[in-house]
Amino acid sequence: MKKFVDNPAGVPAPPPGRYSHVSRVEIADTVTLTLAGQCAIGDDLSVVAPGDIVGQTDRVFEIIGILLAAHGATFADITSTRTYLTDMDDRAAYAETRAKYLPADALPPSTVVEVSRLFLPDVVVEVEVVAVRELDRA
């Protein structure tokens, strides 16, 4: 088994010494990627689309796509999602936006919970994912 953490280029870096964006575990012929919760943060570390569930969900899944691609994975490799919303009334808009990214014929198990707040004001959604893919043996 091989395990390491990563902060790929192309997405805002986490605060130094606090966490990593990706944990990668290689066992036999598979790679399991566990992504830290992602929020709608821009390259300048500001909140993207403050208070807007659709705009933030798009940004979150854009970041998730970059993190997955950095490890040779795609949205089709996602095996589970966990979503935190500051308002459960946003669930339908979140689900509709998320559907643009996840394959309709292989939707992963999903948990959605409401929380009183997230780590920055105006952040209304945070998404964690786990993905599994075959290990490239070139």
Query: What is the rounded CA–CA span in Å between residue 40 and residue 59?
Result: 5
Each residue of 22-60: pLDDT tens digit? 999 999 999 999 999 999 999 898 999 999 999 999 999
CATH code for the domain of 84: 3.30.1330.40
Domain count, the chain: 1
* Mean pLDDT of all residues in 51-80: 98
pLDDT score, position 138: 61
pLDDT score, position 84: 98
Residues of the chain above pLDDT 90, percent? 91
CA-closest candidate to residue 20, choices 34, 10, 30, 31: 34
The boundaries of the domain holding residue 22 are 2-134
Which residues on adjacent β-strands are paired with residue 33?
Answer: 24, 131
Q: Give the chain's mean pLDDT.
A: 96
* Mean pLDDT of all residues in 69-97: 98
Q: Structure pTM?
A: 0.96
Number of residues written out for the chain: 138
